Amino acid sequence: MDRELQFEDSIRNVLEYVGEDINREGLEKTPSRVRKAFEFMCSGYNQDPKEIINKALFTSTNDEMVVIKDIEFYSMCEHHILPIIGKAHVAYIPNGKVVGLSKIPRIVDVFARRLQIQEQMTEQICDALHEALNPKGVAVMIDARHMCMEMRGVEKISSTTVTSALRGLFKKEKKTKDEFLSIVSQSLHK
């Protein structure tokens, strides 16, 4: 049996398990729709961050902080397969090369479109940029809501989790870290 049909059969089983009539009109195409949604929401497994970045590297004399704030993302927690909804804030200090600005949100999406825990996703984004750009420093901060905390379990509506990862000058120099934090603090919890 091909994998697409296996996936769709699994969704039919889930629907039956929760008490649904899988033959009713509204659910006829649901297994196929869910499969296509998962293919999109987990498309990060099929993308290579280095390939994305290497297509848009440019020589530059700029050696000041570049910050992209409020990068919206949607991910899914690996423990409950429920949504994580948040914003990423990414900064780097160039070291002879800059990357096309649109590539930073694409890197965030590469890792967001996988089953995740926020702590790991923050590290993955930071490490991917650090390895591909070889900058003087990279900083990533993520502020996100977790539906596994809001829809079930402790049911703490609107609580957010903030994680960060720092490399190079952001980790070594307090002044650089403080500048980044000052820039992104305006965006936290909006």
Point out the residues that are catalytic.
Answer: 77-80, 118, 146, 148
The two counts, helices (H) then strands (E), for the chain are 8, 7
Task: Using alpha carbons, list the distances in angstroms from residue 176 to 27, 60, 101, 129.
Answer: 53, 20, 21, 18
Looking only at the bridges linking them, the beta strands covering 66-77 and 57-59 are: unpaired
> According to DSSP H, which parts of 113-173 are helical?
118-133, 147-150, 169-172
**CA–CA separation, 56 vs 99, rounded Å?**
5
Q: Which residues is 137 bridged to in the sheet?
A: 93, 168
Alpha-carbon separation of residue 138 from 20, 38, 83, 119 (angstroms): 48, 31, 26, 16
